[in-house]
Amino acid sequence: MRSRRKDPHTASRRVSPTRTRTVVAPDPVTEVRVSLRVNGTPITRPVEVRRTLVDFLREDAGLTGTHIGCEHGVCGACTILLDGQPVRSCLLFAVQVDGAEITTVEALGTPDALSPLQEAFADHHALQCGFCTPGFLMTAHALLRDHANPSDEAIRDALGGHLCRCTGYQPIFDAVRAAASRGTE
């Protein structure tokens, strides 16, 4: 075994290699059977490992409310909640969410029974074409769930990861601000 030199700024340091090799990585596969819950409903499907979560949700789970805007993680239209946290579903593979809890826009409300946040969006004209809207809703929903009275800056920060081409953003901010002030999310 080599002696250890201590030179915190420049040198690299070697330690002895692991002696046993009883740990073996799983075999690589091309298909996996995933089981997860989407909006509380269990779903089990075989999926190709490269199948993105957003495609799984839209086609395998039949939930088309989550939209694809760019497929490279910039526009935020595909945002869903993974175990309660907003994430871009175009940057996840379905295999990665085996055993997880996914929440999509369909869980927030129905056309006849919108959530208070959704009502606020309608009140403030915070959507026009509606394509980016589900993504914004999921992020805003998580924000208001975790912060009873978020600052203006916190709202802007959260919304900053979403692109909208129609509204000019201020109505969306106003809707989230109003929903927060109502304290009912």
Partner 1 sequence: MKPAPFKYLAPRSRPEALDALRRYGPDAKVLAGGQSLVPLLAMRLARPSVIIDLNRAPDLAFIRSTTIGLTIGAMTRQGAVEADAVVAARAPLLADSLRWAGHPEIRTRGTIGGSLAHADPSAELPAVAAVLGARFVLASTRGERLLDAARFFLGYLSTALQPDELLTQVRWPAQPPDAGWAFLEVARRHGDFALVGVAALVGLDGDGRCAAARLAFTGVGSGPVRVPEAEASMIGKRITDATAAEASRIVAGALDPDSDVHASASYRKHVAGVLAARALTQAARRARSAS
Partner 2 sequence: MRTNSKSCCLMGTRWFGERVRRTEDPRLLAGAGTFVDDIQPPRLLHAAFYRSPESHARIARVDTTAAKAVPGVVAVFTAQDLPEHLRGPLPRLIPHPTLIHHKTQVALAGEIVHHVGEPVVMVVAENRYIAEDAVDLVDVEFEPLPAVVDLEDAARAGSPTVHEDLDTNIAAHYTQRVGNVEDAFAQARHIFRERLVMDRGASSPIETRGIVATWDDRTRQLTVWDSTQAPIRIRNFLSLLLKLPQHSVRVIAPDIGGGFGPKIMMCYPEEIMLPHAAMVLGRPVKWIEDRREHFVATNHERLQIFDAQIGVDDDGHILGVRVEFLHDAGAYIAYGLIVPIVSSTTLVGPYRIPNYHAEFKAVFTNKTQVSPYRGAGRPHGVFVMERLMDRVALELRLDRAEIRRRNLIPPDAFPYDTGLIYQDAAPLIYDSGNYSLVLSKTLEMIGYADWPARQVKARLDGRTVGLGLAMYVEGTGIGPYEGCRVTVEPSGRVFVATSVGTQGQGHYTIFAQIVADALGVNVRDITVTTGDTGAFAWGTGTFASRAAVVAGNAVALAARAVREKTLAVAAGLLEAAPDDLDLAGGKVFVRGAPARAVTLGKVATAANPLRGTIPQAWEGPGLEATRYFAPPRGTFAAGCHAAVVEIDRGTGALRIDRYVVVHDCGVVINPMIVEGQIRGGVTQGIGNAFYEALVYDEHGQLLTQTFMDYLLPTIAEVPRVEIGHVETPSPLNPLGVKGAGEAGVIPVPAVIASAIDDALGTRITEMPLSHARLLDLVRGAPGVAAAARAGGRTA
| 46 forms part of the interface with partner 2 (CB under 8 A) | no
- What six digits make up the tokens of 43? 């779903």
Q: What are phi and psi of 177, to 5 degrees?
A: -60, -45
Site for partner 2 in 91-120 (CB under 8 A): 104-106, 108-112, 114, 118
Work out what residue 60 binds among partner 2, partner 1, none; the CB cut-off runs from 5 to 8 Å by kind.
Answer: none
Q: Closest separation between CB of residue 15 and partner 2, Å?
A: 40
Q: Which residues bind partner 1 (CB under 8 A)?
A: 8-10, 12-18, 21, 23-30, 32, 48-50, 52, 71-73, 76, 79, 85-88, 90-93, 95-96, 139, 157-158, 160-161
CB nearer to partner 2: pick between 97 and 134? 134
| CB atoms near residue 173 (< 10 Å) | 18
117-131 burial: b if 16+ Cβ within 10 Å, else e: bbbbbeebebbeeeb
Q: Closest separation between CB of residue 98 and partner 2, Å?
A: 19
Helix (H/G/I), strand (E/B), else coil: 77:
coil
Q: Closest separation between CB of residue 15 and partner 1, Å?
A: 5
36-48 burial: b if 16+ Cβ within 10 Å, else e: bebbeeebeeebe
Residue 141 and residue 150: Cα distance in Å, rounded? Answer: 12
CB nearer to partner 2: pick between 8 and 177? 177
CB nearer to partner 1: pick between 18 and 111? 18
Continuous segment of H or E residues that includes residue 41:
strand 41-48
Query: Where do contacts with partner 2 occur on this chain (CB under 8 A)?
Result: 48, 50-51, 58-59, 63-72, 74-75, 77, 104-106, 108-112, 114, 118, 121-123, 125, 127-134, 137, 156, 159-173
